Structure 1
Amino acid sequence: MTLRDLFNQVSSNYWPLASYFILLPLIAWIVGQTATGSRDVKFWGIIYAIIVYAVCIPGIFAVTLNIYLFLFERQSIWQANIIMQFLPVISMVLTLMLIKQKIPFSLIPGFGKLSGFLTLITAMIGMMWFVDRIHLVAFTYVPFAYIVIGFVGTLLLIRFAWSKLF
């Protein structure tokens, strides 16, 4: 099964996926109402972590897929699949906004890992787009290992700069 086959299958029966992404912000709101006034921050932090991972992993995938399709595949916005490409992002943003109102992200276990992962993906896509656009052809005697080390070094530098920025 290819990714296109999966998209076609979900597009033909979209209600389970749409229900999932509609329910996640609702669950975050219900948990927020239930947790109001509770002093067990660790327990609610774990519950919010489960919700964050349930919404952010598909949301990050959808953002990455959208960037790839629009930048590299030159897909028209008119051909975008609303359920597969936009609903996860909208659900992610809405859920994170609801959670942010109730608890700081620093109290949610593993939230920093998601932002680091998103930073890494963004840096890699940005570098790939830059290389794709400049059409650089180079004949060099530099060993390939040095090029890989330079690429990894650039990623580490971007990650360090991002952590200092936020």
Structure 2
Amino acid sequence: MPVFVVELGLPGPALPCPVGSPVPVTVTVRNTSARRVWAAGVLDGSEDRVRFPHYVPSVTYEGRAVHPPRRPEDPLVGPLRPGDFRKLEPGEAFDPTGPGYLPLTTFGAFVPGRPGIYEFGLTLSTESPSADAWLGRFGQGEERATVLELVGRVPRETVAARPLRVEVR
């Protein structure tokens, strides 16, 4: 059974969203296990799959991708810090795009151009080939040992949110 559950939602009632406006998608990561775990939110390079954790959003319309995955702008991501990690008690959740983390640019930049049903998806992967795949490309410095120890506390898995279907009019 997965340790993490990723949930997508809207900040208010699921009313039709207007054509020409971004859809305000919310993201929650929940610890569904019976033990305390550690997690990290969206970091510089997470959405581009340059560094872990990977947060990979998708937007489809009539079964086709309408907002392709981002290509890395610059593989030089900043250092990983102890403050990038969050301790989650059993049942506890957090917003991985909230304060201290980055927004998911795919969701924020996508503006539906026609009416219909759009599906928003998100995959979270912590299944790195090594702990070093979480580190920044520069400036890691003296906190390296501390953050590598925290990376070791993050469960390794890949989970996908149930698609969020949003009507656009």
- TM-score (norm. length: structure 1): 0.25
Higher RCO by CA contacts (8 Å cutoff, separation 6 or greater): 2
Structure holding more helix per residue? 1
Q: TM-score, normalised by structure 2?
A: 0.24
Structure of greater Rg: 1
